[in-house]
Amino acid sequence: MNNLETHHWIVDKNSSELTSNPQIKNAAMWISRGEVVAFPTETVYGLGANALSDQAISKIYEAKGRPSDNPLIVHISNINQLNKLVKNIPAVSQKLMDSFWPGPLTIIFESNSVVSPKVTAGLQTVAIRMPDHPVALALIEAADVPVAAPSANLSGKPSPTNADHVLHDLNGRIAGVVDGGATGVGVESTVIDCTCTPPIILRPGGVTREEIEAVIGSVAVDKALLEKDEAPKSPGMKYTHYAPKAPLYIVDGPRDFIQKLIDEEHQNGKKVGMLTTEENKQNYNADIVITCGYREDLKTVAHHLYDSLRAFDEEKIDIIFSESFPQTGVGEAVMNRLSKAAGGNIIKE
């Protein structure tokens, strides 16, 4: 599937009247024709297609090389679109929408079966969010359909945080990419299932558990986040992904223990990469040392995580070690994504 002309529409997210912007209107036209278009959100770039069309959704799976038993998140630009897709809006969902929409929170509702069954992967529920990005909202509004969109990368690769990442993975495989600059949060949205009591967080992300509980009280956490053998129920959590080309290992231990691992790999003739923070970058003697932000501010780590993982692919690295991070606040999402990228491989002292 490498025979499409992939358009590159550059849009200033600060422009006025984005819905009528010629670039946005052109991209929206391709979505309305049933084609796949990548676009920026506040989390990562999404790969969007008409959520009501079986044929259009099939093109997402084909472009990504993603198994079709993995459900997708539907992106909307207004509440009227939500009302047309769900059976009801529970009170707890309304509280979350009032607090976090538009924003990086995906809420799972009971589906009324209007969206394509290829979006829900056969489930009776549908995952929906309203992105907090002016270009995303304008594109969805101009297309005048709800837009299903996983991350705009080849399945298994780190999610894209700028248009160049999208073109690297998908040039020739999709109709186009709307280039609205770099994304903000850097990791995908939090996913919470509000069809059960208490609500269950299925994927940690841009809205933290602490922020959610401050609004609706205690929530549960999907066992699949805690136990490796549990089958996850959330979009984007079923298969190992976010992974760089070289094998990645998370190390739970002090810096001298990590350096010992690096030295052992050097003795075996391996070229070693190290993923660390600005505070610790001087402490490692590796072939390539890449920083992903500041340990004192885990939001910066979330923002740069995927870009850092992709940076290793530019080097001929044999193995990558990564520091571990505190699993509080957005650190929970950081460690979840790192663990997926590492295939669950964690080395403890």
Which positions make up the binding site?
A: 43, 66, 70, 75, 125, 129, 149, 151, 159, 189, 203, 242
Q: Are 52 and 114 in contact (CB under 8 A)?
A: yes
Beta strands across the sheet bearing 176-179: 7-10, 176-179, 37-40, 45-50, 147-148, 73-75, 125-129, 105-110, 190-193, 200-203, 220-221
Q: Are 191 and 201 in contact (CB under 8 A)?
A: yes
> CA 223, 94, 40, 29 torsion: positive or negative?
positive
Enumerate the known binding-site residues for ATP.
Answer: 66, 70, 125, 151, 159, 203, 242
**Other C-beta atoms within 10 Å of 149: how many?**
28
* Residue at token pair 């885990």: 298
Question: Within a 13 Å sphere around the CA of 31, how many CA atoms are in the beta-carbon half?
Answer: 31
Enumerate the known binding-site residues for L-threonine.
Answer: 43, 75, 129, 149, 189
Q: Is 47 exposed, middle or buried (CB count within 10 Å of its CB: 0-12, 13-18, 19+)?
A: buried
